[in-house]
Amino acid sequence: MAETIAGDVDYAVRGVGYSRHRRPDPRIEAMIHAALGDARTVLNVGAGAGSYEPRDRLVAAIEPSDAMRRQRPPSLAPAINARAEALPLDDASVDAAMAILTVHQWQDRSAGLRQLLRVTRGPIVIMAFDGEAMHRFWLAEYAPEMIEASRRRDGPVAELQAALSPPGRRAEVRPVPIPIDCTDGFTEAFYARPERFLDPEVTMAQSTWAFVAADAMERFRRTLAADLASGAWDERYGAHRTMPEFIGSLTLVVSVPG
Ligand SMILES: C[S@@+](CC[C@H](N)C(=O)[O-])C[C@H]1O[C@@H](n2cnc3c(N)ncnc32)[C@H](O)[C@@H]1O
């Protein structure tokens, strides 16, 4: 089947090694599942290969990319080919909804969030990067183009919180601590393992690099490799190598009725 590009990147190209490099992290998973409360039916929008999908509840998964749907393990429900902006579900038909590291890719984020509010009776749990907090990461010094692209793409998490707090609901933002050995290879997951950025497969599984020009990417790799070899990175940022966790831009936005 031809690949549908519903977001802002082509997962037929960037999604191929996704499930190998983006394995759900159990500590982050525990936070997401706790936020879903006692929901029995859960909608997972932008479900990808199924990371963080609960195994002990009834799940409906929505995923527009064929390459991502094909990476779902057979133990999970097949995902429906649809987009957040037009959810094929009735009003108030699921107990809870989750959208994990996906809203930054939606073509019409407001429409997608309105759809989540329409179909969900209980908690809506969004995991997203706060575009306003990206600069806390040391990568800002080495790849400012990447941080700027993230800032533009992700936007302020306060906007998500406002959109998910219509009358009759309240939403809160919870920082998600990133463990030093995080198994989900998003950018900040490697705060203590800078060498990993030198592996092209690792950056291929981090979609924001698609918005960084080839010459900037090349300069980033060259400079980081040189600083790692000379010890300059460790002199400035070496303390990160033993920090048990990093509070960066990763957040959960949790909207509940009330
Ligand atoms: C970074 S992946 C995250 C996948 C999964 N939630 C996870 O945590 O691994 C983002 C996913 O959002 C999907 N996506 C992009 N635009 C979308 C849209 N408009 N509606 C629903 N999903 C979309 C992509 O196809 C991709 O699978």
Average pLDDT over residues 148-170: 95
User: What span, in angstroms and rounded, lies between the C-alpha atoms of 13 and 204?
Assistant: 9
Atom of ligand 1 nearest to the CA of 22: 9
pLDDT for 16 equals 60
Using most ligand atoms within 8 A of CB, pick from 102, 127, 129 the residue to mutate for ligand 1.
102
Q: How confident is the model at residue 203 (pLDDT cuts 50, 70, 90)?
A: very high
The residue whose C-alpha atom lies closest to atom 25 belonging to ligand 1 is 65
Helices (H), the chain: 11-14, 18-21, 26-35, 66-69, 109-119, 139-142, 144-154, 157-163, 200-204, 214-230, 232-237
pTM, full prediction:
0.91
Domains annotated on the chain, with CATH: 11-257 (3.40.50.150)
pLDDT for 1 equals 44
- 110 residue type, one letter: S
Sign of the dihedral defined by the CA atoms of residues 106, 107, 110, 115, in that order:
negative
Evaluate whether 102 touches 46 at the Cβ level (below 8 Å): yes
- 220 residue type, one letter: F
Average pLDDT over residues 212-219: 94
* Residue 220 CA to ligand 1 centre (angstroms): 27
User: What span, in angstroms and rounded, lies between the C-alpha atoms of 4 and 60?
Assistant: 19
User: What would the pLDDT profile of 48-100 be if each residue is shown by its tens digit?
Assistant: 999 999 999 999 999 999 989 998 999 999 999 999 999 999 999 999 999 99
Between strands 245-246 and 58-62, the pairing is: unpaired
Q: Is the pLDDT score of 14 beyond 80?
A: no
Among 3-7, 81-85, 212-216, name the one with the lowest average pLDDT. Answer: 3-7
Longest dimension (CA), the chain: 59
Over the chain, what is the mean pLDDT? 93
Evaluate whether 1 touches 189 at the Cβ level (below 8 Å): no
